[in-house]
């Protein structure tokens, strides 16, 4: 019995590590989904990298479409508003310099971070604010994994909104 409990604990610990990955299969289109069509609007600071923002917007769009939520360009009635407060990609030069300075690979620290607010707006009025993103800040070492994780969490929040 002790061995069974130990094996179960080890499997749980091994399974809980890592990042939030997307599901490989498409979500079923839910007849109870609150939002079936949305316009995606992303606002960011002036100094944000435009290519990274474009890539992030595509990831969000892809994650929403996998969940059966259509993106419409002309839909002014309902829009998913993503306000990026901080969009910081880790500096590889700084990481290399720190590795040289201390003599061992500097892997404990990352400055990759995305901080944002997410809401659904009807014209310019906020009709639903996702509280889980109100003071949301995520930090993962791999930048691409970080963007995918945040996009999938947003898409799940919209898909499961009620």
CA distances from 88 to 73, 75, 79, 85, 136 (A): 28, 30, 25, 10, 14
pLDDT at site 100: 66
Query: What's the CA gap between 5 and 60, in Å, rounded?
Result: 40
Helices then strands, each counted (H, E), the chain = 4, 6
Interval 16-50: pLDDT, tens: 445 555 555 566 666 777 888 889 999 988 888 88
- Sign of the dihedral defined by the CA atoms of residues 125, 58, 74, 87, in that order: positive
* pTM tops 0.85, yes or no: no
Confidence of residue 63 (pLDDT cuts 50, 70, 90): very high
User: What is the pLDDT of the chain when averaged over all its residues?
Assistant: 76
């Amino acid at each position: 019995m002790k061995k069974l409990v130990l094996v179960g604990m080890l499997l749980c610990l091994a399974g809980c590590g890592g990042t939030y990955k997307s599901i490989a299969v498409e979500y079923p289109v839910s007849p109870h989904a609150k939002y079936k069509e949305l316009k995606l609007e992303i606002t960011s600071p002036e100094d944000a990298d435009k290519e990274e923002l474009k890539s992030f917007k595509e990831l969000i769009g892809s994650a929403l479409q996998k969940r059966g939520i259509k993106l419409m360009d002309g839909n002014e009635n309902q829009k998913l508003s993503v306000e990026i407060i901080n969009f910081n990609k880790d500096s590889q030069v700084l990481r290399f310099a720190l590795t040289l300075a201390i003599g061992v690979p500097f892997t404990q620290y990352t400055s990759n971070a995305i901080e944002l607010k997410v809401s659904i707006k009807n014209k310019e009025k906020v009709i639903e604010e996702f509280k889980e993103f109100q003071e949301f800040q995520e930090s993962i070492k791999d930048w691409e994994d970080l963007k995918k994780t945040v996009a999938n969490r947003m898409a799940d929040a919209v898909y499961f909104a009620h």
